[in-house]
């Protein structure tokens, strides 16, 4: 006759591991035994032991949250602060960079607008700032402007625009790359304007553009809509003027891809973007 014995009761350590997993405390479960041995050797109090475990759990959650934010951001991984040629940026931008990476402007719901001709490093600068913001716990989304417009247009067509805007509202900062390349129809212009209006004074928008404000009627078509969009963007904003030679051309020359000299030009405006914005909003232009 075979005697069937009841399964052995789990040990205290096994029971604790099961409980910690149920409570979703992975760092507690991973380090509890190791830290218990260290606590015994060094004579920690129970409070010290628990404090060390709690610190590890908080750090683990922070690390996993940043990894999740990084993955969802769609930021180009190669356009980080470490790969940015800071010495080639305009001096004023160099001075502003550290402060912008701290994220105070995001806390205040301000915008960041980077203007300049192609190849001046606009996208790299704002992406580098985006990566640093994520390290500080902010949620960031990077998207070409045309892609966001098409996303919103599809949502409007499917009668879920409000829901899509709510999804985007979860991001502390949305980076719209190359807004100057978007030549929208009226429907496309309207969803972009709706997006900007929804975030006004609440959440940050980071924009790169090859066009100065006086040329933004090419984007929004209607002068009143253009003025209203600029008004919302610059009311609380930091403006970066990305002047100087094309960094892409310089890199191409080093590789031997260019044999002719490309003339050095600056942002095509005799008046600063901020001044143009104020004039347009006030009806002077």
> Does residue 184 surpass a pLDDT of 70?
no
> What pLDDT score does 270 carry?
35
pLDDT > 70: percent of the chain: 82
* Residue-wise pLDDT tens digits, 232-269: 999 999 999 998 777 767 667 766 765 544 444 444 34
Residue 280: which of 236, 221, 215 has the closest Cα?
215
> What pLDDT score does 30 carry?
86
Average pLDDT, the chain: 84
User: Minimum mean pLDDT among 31-45, 160-174, 202-216, 252-266: which range?
Assistant: 252-266
Please tell me the distance from the alpha carbon of residue 149 to that of residue 147, in angstroms, as a whole number.
5
> Does residue 5 surpass a pLDDT of 90?
no
User: How would you write the chain as a 3-class SS string?
Assistant: CCCCCCCCCCCHHHHHHHHHHHCCCHHHHHHHHHHHHHHHHHCCCHHHHHHHHHHHHHHHHHHHHHHHHHHHHCCCCCCCHHHCCHHHCCHHHHHHHHHHHHCHHHHCCCEEEEECCCCCCHHHHHHHHHHHHHHCCCCEEEEEHHHHHHHHHHHHHCCCHHHHHHHHHCCCEEEEECHHHCCCCHHHHHHHHHHHHHHCCCCEEEEEECCCHHHCHHHHCCHHHHHHHHHHHHCCEEEEECCCCCHHHHHHHHHCCCCCCCCCCCCCCCCCHHHHHHHHHCCCC
Tell me the average pLDDT across 80-106: 95
Query: Which CATH number is correct for 75-281, 3.40.50.300, 3.20.20.110, 3.30.470.10, 2.40.50.140?
Result: 3.40.50.300
> Does residue 272 surpass a pLDDT of 60?
no
**Would you place residue 147 in the very low, low, confident or very high pLDDT band (cuts 50, 70, 90)?**
very high
> What pLDDT score does 7 carry?
57
> What pLDDT score does 264 carry?
41
Please tell me the distance from the alpha carbon of residue 184 to that of residue 46, in angstroms, as a whole number.
64
Residue 184: which of 219, 227, 231, 151 has the closest Cα?
219
Tell me the average pLDDT across 181-201: 86
> Does residue 178 surpass a pLDDT of 70?
yes
> What pLDDT score does 200 carry?
94
**Would you place residue 281 in the very low, low, confident or very high pLDDT band (cuts 50, 70, 90)?**
very low
Tell me the average pLDDT across 259-284: 42
**Would you place residue 17 in the very low, low, confident or very high pLDDT band (cuts 50, 70, 90)?**
confident
Residue 239: which of 80, 100, 135 has the closest Cα?
100
> What pLDDT score does 217 carry?
81
């Amino acid at each position: 006759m075979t005697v069937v014995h009841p399964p052995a009761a789990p040990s205290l350590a096994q029971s604790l591991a099961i409980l910690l997993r149920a409570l979703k405390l992975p760092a507690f479960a991973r380090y509890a035994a190791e830290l218990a041995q260290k606590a015994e050797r060094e004579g920690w109090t129970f409070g010290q032991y628990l404090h060390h475990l709690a610190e590890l759990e908080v750090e683990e959650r922070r690390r996993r949250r940043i990894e999740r934010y990084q993955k969802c951001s769609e930021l180009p991984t190669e356009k980080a602060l470490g790969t940015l040629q800071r010495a080639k940026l305009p001096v004023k931008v160099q001075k502003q960079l550290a402060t912008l990476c701290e994220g105070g402007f995001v806390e205040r719901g301000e915008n960041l607008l980077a203007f300049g001709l192609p190849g001046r490093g606009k996208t790299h600068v704002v992406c580098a700032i985006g990566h640093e913001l994520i390290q500080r716990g902010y949620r960031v989304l990077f998207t070409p402007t045309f892609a966001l417009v098409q996303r919103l247009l599809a949502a409007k067509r499917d009668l879920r625009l409000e829901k899509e805007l709510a999804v985007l509202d979860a991001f502390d900062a949305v980076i719209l790359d190359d807004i100057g390349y978007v030549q929208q129809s009226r429907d496309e212009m309207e969803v972009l304007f709706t997006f900007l209006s929804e975030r006004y004074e609440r959440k940050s928008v980071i924009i790169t553009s090859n066009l100065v404000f006086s040329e933004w009627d090419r984007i929004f078509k209607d002068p009143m809509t253009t003025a209203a969009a600029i008004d919302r963007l610059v009311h609380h904003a930091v403006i970066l003027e990305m002047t100087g030679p094309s960094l892409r051309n310089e890199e191409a020359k080093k590789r031997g891809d260019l044999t002719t000299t490309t003339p050095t030009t600056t942002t095509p405006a005799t008046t600063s973007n901020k001044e143009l914005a104020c004039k347009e909003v006030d009806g002077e232009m």
